Amino acid sequence: MAKILIVDDDALLVRMYQKKLENDGYIVAAADDGETALQRVQEFKPDLILLDIMMPKVNGLQVLAILKEDKETESIPVILLTNVGGSDEDVNRGLELGAVAYLVKAGNRPSAVVAKVKEILSGYVRDLPKVKVG
């Protein structure tokens, strides 16, 4: 099953998304700041990242820029998570940097986030090894 990295400094929100995603069969890891997120990406090798914009140490837009500049991580789809008060400028900048979508935290139930994860992953199926039959 696909591996999801949740990057957010709101521990309650992380636990909520983590539980919902794991219940739907995903393997989930978490990071509570951008610096930790960049380390986890290298270790965990996620298939998709849910990334908060406003975080300590290294913010989500900085993380996204670093990921998209690296050949090893540039193809990982990233969904930005924003607060209701998040600026349109940040969202637009995130999409320009290569995020595939953005979700407003308060405006989406966990089931809606999981639905978006499934939708995006279905479009990012990595090449599977060929199996010889017979």
The pTM score is 0.88
What angle in degrees, to the nearest 10, is found between the helix axes of 60-69 and 88-97? 10
Per-residue pLDDT at 132? 46
* Per-residue pLDDT tens over the stretch 64-109: 999 999 999 999 999 998 875 567 788 788 889 999 998 888 778 8
- Which amino acid would we find at residue 97? L
Angle at alpha carbon of residue 113, lines to 63 and 85, rounded to 5°: 60
